[in-house]
Amino acid sequence: MRQIVTTDIGGTHARFAFATIAEGRVAKLSEPVTLKTSEHASFQTAWEEFGRRSGVDLPDELAMAFAGPVGGELLKLTNNPWVIRPALMSEKLGVERFTIVNDFGAVAHAVATLDDSAYSHLCGPERELPKAGVITIVGPGTGLGVAALLRQEDGSYEVIETEGGHVDFAPLDPLEDRILAQLRKSFRRVSVERLISGRGLVNIYDALAAIENRAASIRDDKALWAAALEGSDSLAAAALDHLCLSFGAVAGDLALAHGANAVVIGGGLGQRLSGYLPRSGFRDRFIAKGRFERRMDDIPVKLITYPEPGLIGAAAAFAREHP
């Protein structure tokens, strides 16, 4: 039994915790420490701050979930200016062994290891996640994360990390045609995460305001999300409705592309939307796949409710690589 540091680095926050590894599995996860990435110049300074707050010498083993592609000599966050050079881990951090996985790859490792109590049911058949086959992992946060988990009957599994949040947005009705036209005025290419993410709500809200030739009066992101979820502003509420519609369509497209027999919703905004998604148009768009509607309606869609799936998933990936 040994202790490592596990961290989940996103566009907005960096989360750190200690994980206890025993027999190739995560036995325990400490209370996490959350730091704002905007308040730290680099991962190294955030690591040092975690060490100061912990009051102990940090272990020389590290598991990292990283919000961006993880191959190559230089890792760049998709929605954050930090860069990480794996070759300098030992020199800069005193780390001798480490594992780095994509942030949604980490969520997929978490899904592979957590039991059914870690989820709430969203739509489709209310049954446990399948023990074999493909599970699509998708969720909005600062961006839109996507991964796939392939489970085998013998309990083994493989995680396929992707950048599926950057596929092209496809409008499905005349209003979405007009939303896309508005977004093209700001973005050379409109990917799905331009709509399905924390910032996506702002983008849709601004587009709807322009379409209606009215002022987009709420300019603070947090205030906009609060108004949308509360329904206190009609335009904000409409923007959230369209975000959920697009989310359902994209989640269904990904499940079809992956050949999935289940979908798990993660991401920082996944839990925030937990009370809203079931009464939104998410399910209708998820199953609206023409000849495949019956198949889509037989796919269970669950929301991961485990509080820190990225942290435990990164630690699980480390334990698998360094048992």
Share of the chain above pLDDT 90, in %: 89
Quote the pTM value: 0.92
Domain range list for the chain: 2-114+307-321, 164-304
Domain topology for 2-114+307-321:
Nucleotidyltransferase; domain 5 (3.30.420)
Domains 2-114+307-321 and 164-304 share a fold: no
The whole-number average pLDDT for the span 111-116 is 94
Would you state the pLDDT for residue 68?
82
- Residues 112-118: contacts with CB under 8 Å, at least 24 apart: 112/149, 112/151, 112/157, 112/159, 112/316, 113/25, 113/26, 113/312, 113/313, 113/316, 114/304, 114/306, 114/309, 114/312, 118/304, 118/305, 118/306, 118/309
**The two three-digit tokens of residue 145, written as one number:** 């994360």
Domain over 164-304 is classified CATH 3.40.50.970: no
DSSP 153: T
* Position 300 pLDDT exceeds 80: yes
Which of 10-14, 190-194, 273-277 is the most confident on average? 190-194
Model confidence band, residue 270 (pLDDT cutoffs 50, 70, 90): confident
Task: Tell me the per-residue pLDDT of 191-244, one tens digit each, with 9 for 90 and over.
Answer: 999 999 999 999 999 999 999 999 999 999 999 999 999 999 999 999 999 999
